[in-house]
């Protein structure tokens, strides 16, 4: 895109439209039907929280992810799901640690505490 004036931009056909992908609706309907069937099969199951499903490479999560990859036409990523789960679990654990440490008040040094005790 190129800025033309103020907040206005123009799109250049080949540069923009070559990067937009539209699903084949005939195939999409079949994939949606398979996803609905999967949902019907797992909707009443007692599943673990998302983080645990990812961390433990849960078969229920795998079936969901395999269906999603199929719908996106990314079947070749299915063998890499374990690798993806490990990477996502590491990121989620890191984010959790950051949240935990940011909630705790900073520790005061002993000298600050001693100064406060000395003041009447």
Name which of 84-88, 95-99, 103-107 the model is least confident about: 103-107
Residue pLDDT, tens place only, 20-42: 777 677 777 888 899 999 999 99
pLDDT tens string 37-70? 999 999 999 999 999 999 999 999 999 999 999 8
Q: Where are the domains of the chain?
A: 23-102
Look up the pTM and report it. Answer: 0.63
Which distant-in-sequence residues (6+ apart) come within 8 Å of 50 by Cβ?
61
Asked whether the beta carbons of 97 and 103 are under 8 A apart, the reply is: no
Enumerate residues 6+ apart whose C-beta is below 8 A from 67.
31, 34, 35, 38
């Amino acid at each position: 895109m190129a800025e033309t004036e103020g907040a206005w931009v123009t799109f250049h056909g080949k540069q923009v439209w070559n990067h937009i992908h539209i699903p084949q609706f005939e195939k999409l309907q079949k994939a949606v039907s398979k996803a609905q069937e999967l949902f019907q099969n797992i909707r009443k199951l007692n599943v673990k929280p998302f983080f645990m499903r990812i961390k433990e490479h849960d078969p229920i999560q795998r079936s969901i992810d395999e269906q999603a990859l199929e719908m996106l036409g990314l079947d070749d990523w299915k063998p890499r799901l374990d690798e993806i789960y490990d990477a996502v679990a590491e990121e989620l654990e890191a984010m959790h640690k950051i949240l935990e440490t940011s909630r705790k008040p900073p520790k005061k040094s002993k000298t600050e505490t001693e100064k406060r005790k000395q003041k009447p």
